[in-house]
Structure 1
C-alpha cells in the first residue's frame, strides 16, 4: 500500500500504532500533557537540587553572567539595536557582542513584569530560575509533536521520559542557565519537526523561518541549517516530485527572507551591513539569497532528468559559497581565525565545549557517543521495519540528521546536545521493542534482566552502564575517577573564582573603575559589581584579551605599560582559579607568579578587602610624573 497521494494532499500519515488507550492510559493523557507533566516534575526536582545556588545566584557559566549584564543594560535604557557591552574594554570604547536579542527578550520581559511586585533582585532570581525550565517545557512539547508522526505512535508518549534522561540536553535548561544554548536546541527541534511533516510549501516555509531564527541566535547552527537544506534538495533531485520541490523552495525562500527580517528586527541596519564571521551578517545572508535565487530558477525550469536537477542544485551551493567569500573572504577561515596565538593557547584551547571530542576525557566521550549510537541503531532498525514510503522517508530524515550532528559533535563538543535530540526517537523505538520483548519472557529472572536491558536505551542509563563497564579497563578513566574523588573530598565552592559574598560586597563598595582580571573572572564580577573590565571570555575583544594574558603570563617588563594602556586601576585575581594557575606556570617571573609568591612589582599596592575565599585586589599606583 502506498500513502503518497494522501501525503501529497497534505494529510497526516495514518495511525499505525497505539493511541493512549492502546498503551493502557486514560485518553486524558495525551502526549502533550504527558510531556508537560514529566518535564514539570523533573524541573521541580532540579529547582530543589539547586535551591542553594538559586538563593546565592551561583552561576555555573560565565556566559550566563554576561547574558544578565546585557539584559540589565537593555532594561536600563540601552538601545534595542545596540548590542555593545560598554563595561568591557572601556579603553577601546566597549565590545560589540555577537549575541541575539531573541535570547534577551523573554528575560527582560519577565524581569520588567515582576520588578514592580518583587524588586529588581528578586525579579531577576525568579526569571533566571523559571525561564530555562519553561523553555525546556516548550522543547518537550515540540519533541512529542515533531515525533508523533513516526511509524510507531507510542514514541510520542515515551519521548518525554527519554528527553529528561538526556543529560547533555537537560543541562541547558536547568535553573539559572539563561544563555543561548537552550534556544539552539529548541529551534533545532522545530526545524526537524517541519522536516518530518508531509512535504508542502508551508512545511518548507516554517522550517526556513525556524532555521533563520536558529542562525540569528548562533551561527553555530549553520551546519544543521545546511544539512536540512541539502536533504530537501536531495529529495527533489532524486524523485522530481512537486511536493518536494515546493518544500525546498519554501525552505530556501524563508531562510533567505527570514534571515533578513530577523536580523533587521534584532540588530537594525548595522545587522544588515555588518560583515562579521561569528554571527549572522551580510556574508551569510548574501549566501542564502544567492542559493535561494538559483534554487527558485531550478524549480522554475523543473527539469525532468535527475542529473540536470543535481547539476542545478549543485550550482545553488556553489553560488552560496561564492557569495559568502565574495562578501567577506575572511569567513572561509572560521570565526576564531584572527585570535592572537596567546589567546588561543591560554583561553580558546581550554574552552572544551568548542573543542573536538578527543580533547575531552574518556568518560565525556562515552556520554557523548553512546546516546547517538543507541539512537542510530534504533533509527536504522525502525527504517528497515517500515512498509510505508512516508515512514521510511521520515526515519531516513532522522538518520541523516543524526549522523550529521553526531559527526559534528566529534569536532565540536557542544553539538552533542543536538545529536542527542535527534537520537531520541531511535532510542525510544528500540526501548519500546526491548520492553515489549522483555514482557513476553515467562521466567522471572530473565524477564527482569531483559527489562533492565530495555532501560539501558535511556541515554543517561546506557552511557552510565558503558562507562561502568569500561572504567576498570581504561587507565585514563581510572585517573579521572580518582581525581573526581579527590575533588569531592576537598569541597571548596570558591576554588574557581573566590566569589564569596563578603568579598563581592567589599569590591562593589570601591569607587567604580576599570579592573584587570584573568579572562574567566571578568564576567562573574560584571554580574556582581558596578565596575568595568578589561576583558571577559568573549572572543570579539581579542586585543584586550591578548593584553590581559600578556600582563599576567608574559614578559613582566611590559606588564605595567600594558595595564596602563588598558586604563586598569585595579587588578583582581583568584589564587586558586585554573586560568590564574596557567598564567603563573607560563614563566617563573611573570606577574601572576610574582603575585602568587607575594612579591608584587613596585607599581602595585595591595587593597585590603574582607574575603573568606582568597580574592586578591591590587591597585595600580599612579604613574610617576
Structure 2
C-alpha cells in the first residue's frame, strides 16, 4: 500500500509530470533556493550565503544553510551531462521533494507500528495521504527546507521513542535534531519539547533510561559541533545570529545535549533519587538558559523586531504562513477545523489510547504527543507549524484507532479506514468549506472567489519578458524578487526576507512616496527599472495605503516624467518602466 499511495500522491503533486511546467510550482523560497544552488555551482563561496544580486552592492544575507543545497547540486551535477542544465534542474526539483515524501510516509508507517502494532499502519498511511496542507511541502518544485525538516522531526520522534531499545535509536535521534537545527531554527520548539520529554523519562525511570538519554544528548552535542565548521564560518561564532545556525544555536544544541548527558549520568547512579535527578535537571536547565541569555541577549527579542513596521503591516501580516490562530479564524474560518481541529482530535484520541497501552510503549506515545503538541502550539502563533502538526498527527490518530476500536480483524480494517478518511484533513476541510457556503447563503452574502484573478505576476515564468531588457537593477514588489533573480540576469532591491531591511524599506519609500521622494530614492539606489503588477495583492496594499503614492499612480495609468513605460509581451499583467536619469 505504501508504494501505491506514494506513486498516487506523487503524481497529484507533480504538474510537470502531467503536462505542466515545473517553474509554475515554485514559491518565493523555492526560487531563491534554485538561485542559491546555481550560484554555488557557478563558483560562489561555500560559506558565502549572500545573494549578491539582491540589494547591491551589499547583497541580501540568506538565513538558511547549505545543507539543502547539497542534494540539489548533486542531482544537477549527475544529470546535467545527459539532459542539460534546464533538464537537470527540473529533475532535481522533482526528485528531491518526492524522495522526501516517500521518507515521510515511510516514517509515518514506522511510528504507527511502534505505537500500536501493524493494525495502525493502514489508517495512519491513509491519513498522511489525505493531509492536504502538509503535502504542499512535498510537491514537485518545493525545494525549500520545510519538507526536509518535517522528515527529520518524524525521524526524531520515532528514534527518541525507542531510546531504551538499542543505542542506534538515541544516536540517530540526536543527529537528526542537530541536522534540523543546522538547516533552520523553525523546529527548535519541537526539539525542545522532545528533549524535555526524554529528560522527564530519565528523571522518572532512572538507570533504566540513563544509557539512551546519555547517547541522545552526546549525539546532539557532538553532531552540532561537527556540523558547525562544515557549514558556518567559525569566525562568526560569537555573532548574535538568532535566525539561523550560528553561535546561539550551537550553544543551545551543545549545552542542551551535554546537559542531558549529565542528567543521565546522575540517573545511572544506584543512589540517585527522583528528587535529586529533578534538582540536577532544573539546575542544568537554568545554567544553559542563563548562559544563552547572557551571551546572546539579542536573541530574546521578538523574531521580527528589526523589520520595518511598514513591512510588518503591508506585507508580513498578509503572508499566509505567518497568520496566527485568531487571524485564521477571522480570515479563513472554513480551514480552521482541518488546520487546528484535526491535531486536537488526534491528540485527545492518542491520550486516551496511551492510557490503555502497555508500559513498554509508553515512551513512544509520550514522545509523539510531545512533538505533536509542540507543532500545534507553534501553529497557534504562526500557521506554518500546522503542516508538520498534521503529518505528525497521522501516526498518532492511526495508532489511537487501532487501540480504541473493536478488535474483530475483518470489521476493524474496513471501519478503521472509513473513520480515518472521515477524520482526515481533507474531509474536515471539505466540511468547513461546505459550512461556510451554507452560512453565506443564509446571510445572502455573495460568494467570494479567492484568487479569481489569475494575473498575480508572482510566478517565475511571469517575469520572462524582463529577461529581454538590458541588465540592470529592478525595483518591484517584495514577492516578485526571487522570481526575477531566477529567470533574469537583473539585480533586485526588495525580496521576501526579514534581513533585507534596507532594500524593502527603499522599495516602500518609492511605492508609497511622492514623486520627489521616489525620484530621490531611485537615483540614490541607481535603479534602472520599476516593475509592478496592478492585480497583485501586495501591490493593491501599497495603492490602498498611499492613494497619492507612486504605486497608486502607476496602477491608474499615470506616468511621472522620470519614468518611461516599456512594452512587455506576456508577463501575465506585468508592467515595467525605465528610470530616466
Identify whether the pair has TM-score above 0.5, normalized to the shorter chain: yes
Residues 73-92 of structure 1: per-residue CA shift (max 9 Å, x gap):
1111112222111010113x
- 2:390 maps to 420
Q: In the alignment, is residue 97 of structure 1 matched against residue 54 of structure 2?
A: no
For the residues of structure 2 that align with 1:61 and 1:53, how far apart are their CA atoms? 16
- 1:165 maps to 130
Please show how residues 66-85 of structure 1 align to structure 2 within 5 Å: 66-85=32-51
SS of 1:177 mapped into structure 2? coil
Q: In the alignment, is residue 534 of structure 1 matched against residue 500 of structure 2?
A: no
For the residues of structure 2 that align with 1:466 and 1:448, how far apart are their CA atoms? 25
Q: 1:454 to 1:298 in 2, by over 3 A?
A: closer
315, 326, 349: which one aligns with 2:317: 349
For the residues of structure 2 that align with 1:73 and 1:536, how far apart are their CA atoms? 17
- 1:114 maps to 79
Does the 8 Å contact 1:264/1:271 carry over to 2?
Answer: no
CA shift for structure 1 position 557: 3.0
CA shift for structure 1 position 454: 5.4
Please show how residues 385-404 of structure 1 align to structure 2 within 5 Å: 385-386=356-357, 388-404=358-374
Does the 8 Å contact 2:335/2:429 carry over to 1?
Answer: no
494, 497, 516: which one aligns with 2:455: 494
Please show how residues 38-49 of structure 1 align to structure 2 within 5 Å: 38-47=5-14
- TM-score, length basis structure 1: 0.85
Does the 8 Å contact 1:103/1:180 carry over to 2?
Answer: yes
- 1:320 maps to 288
Does the 8 Å contact 1:435/1:454 carry over to 2?
Answer: no
SS of 2:13 mapped into structure 1? helix
- TM-score, length basis structure 2: 0.91
Does the 8 Å contact 1:284/1:324 carry over to 2?
Answer: no
Q: 1:400 to 1:617 in 2, by over 3 A?
A: same
Structure with greater contact order relative to length (CA < 8 Å, sep ≥ 6): 2
Q: 1:505 to 1:520 in 2, by over 3 A?
A: closer
Does the 8 Å contact 2:15/2:140 carry over to 1?
Answer: no
User: Is there any run of 5+ residues in structure 2 with no aligned partner, and where?
Assistant: none
- 1:551 maps to 510
Q: 1:512 to 1:436 in 2, by over 3 A?
A: farther
SS of 1:220 mapped into structure 2? coil
Q: 1:452 to 1:233 in 2, by over 3 A?
A: closer
Does the 8 Å contact 1:147/1:193 carry over to 2?
Answer: no
For the residues of structure 2 that align with 1:454 and 1:588, how far apart are their CA atoms? 51
CA shift for structure 1 position 354: 2.0
Q: In the alignment, is residue 363 of structure 1 matched against residue 328 of structure 2?
A: no
SS of 2:284 mapped into structure 1? helix
Does the 8 Å contact 2:64/2:245 carry over to 1?
Answer: no
497, 519, 531: which one aligns with 2:478: 519
CA shift for structure 1 position 533: 0.3
Q: 1:107 to 1:544 in 2, by over 3 A?
A: same
For these two proteins, the number of residue pairs brought into alignment is: 573
SS of 2:559 mapped into structure 1? coil
For the residues of structure 1 that align with 2:250 and 2:507, how far apart are their CA atoms? 34
SS of 1:619 mapped into structure 2? strand
Q: In the alignment, is residue 174 of structure 1 matched against residue 139 of structure 2?
A: yes
- 1:339 maps to 307
Residues 380-416 of structure 1: per-residue CA shift (max 9 Å, x gap):
2321322x21123322322232222212211121111
Deviates more, 1:449-458 or 1:520-529: 449-458
Please show how residues 561-580 of structure 1 align to structure 2 within 5 Å: 561-580=520-539
